[in-house]
Amino acid sequence: MSEESTSQSNTASTSESSDSSMKEKPRRFQLTVSTYVSLEKYIRDRMSITQLQLAPSCTPKDQMCESCNSRVGKYEGDCDQHSRLCGYCCYVMILVSMQASKEGPITTECLHCCSPVNMLTKRKCSTNIEHIQDENKPNSVYVEQTFTICDYIESICNSGFVNGGFEYSNSQ
């Protein structure tokens, strides 16, 4: 009788473990879907903010976004291989690529030239106060920050959607 009870307990534990493994799979899938939905909502919120950031009429043509021609192009794809893009167009590019690839790595395409984009470079012009006294040195310095799009998306997910992404600021 002890053999029968042992075999029954083994069968019961096997069925419990298979039930628990079956329950875990949908939970993982729901987590992936909820992360995707939260990420999409975050990007849409950022798009609504950056949509209103139109460039002044005195902005030079070479600093404008070549995709929408209405905002300042702060970003360039793959280290100057692509045209200038504004924050709004970068978010559109990421959102379109997320919707196109539900699984696997996200591959983004430039909205202007339709070629793949892996990295974005943000250029910010800052005044160089130390060299204002010297006439031979430039008064402004370009600060560049390069990041991959996959790392950017991962940082949003890991930071709990707190990261300002394309619009960096000191406030959190």
Report CA 172 to chain centroid distance, whole Å: 18
**What is the CA angle 113-115-121, rounded to 5?**
85
Q: Give the model's pLDDT for residue 26.
A: 29
Phi-psi region of 161 (alpha: psi -120 to 50; beta: other; left: phi over 0): left
Residue 92 lies in a domain: yes
Residue 18 lies in a domain: yes
Residue 168 lies in a domain: no
Residue 163 lies in a domain: no
Residue 164 lies in a domain: no
Number of domains present in the structure of the chain: 1
Q: Give the model's pLDDT for residue 18.
A: 43
pLDDT in tens, the chain (172 residues): 445 544 444 444 444 444 444 433 322 223 356 667 778 888 888 889 888 888 888 888 888 888 888 898 888 888 667 778 888 998 898 888 888 776 666 778 887 778 888 888 887 766 555 545 555 655 566 677 888 888 877 777 776 554 444 444 444 4
Other Cβ atoms closer than 10 A to 103: 5
Residue 71 lies in a domain: yes
Provide the residue range defining the domain that includes 103.
2-158
Residue 126 lies in a domain: yes
Residue 86 lies in a domain: yes
Decide: 105 and 135 in contact? Cβ < 8 Å: no
- What three-state secondary structure class fits 159? coil
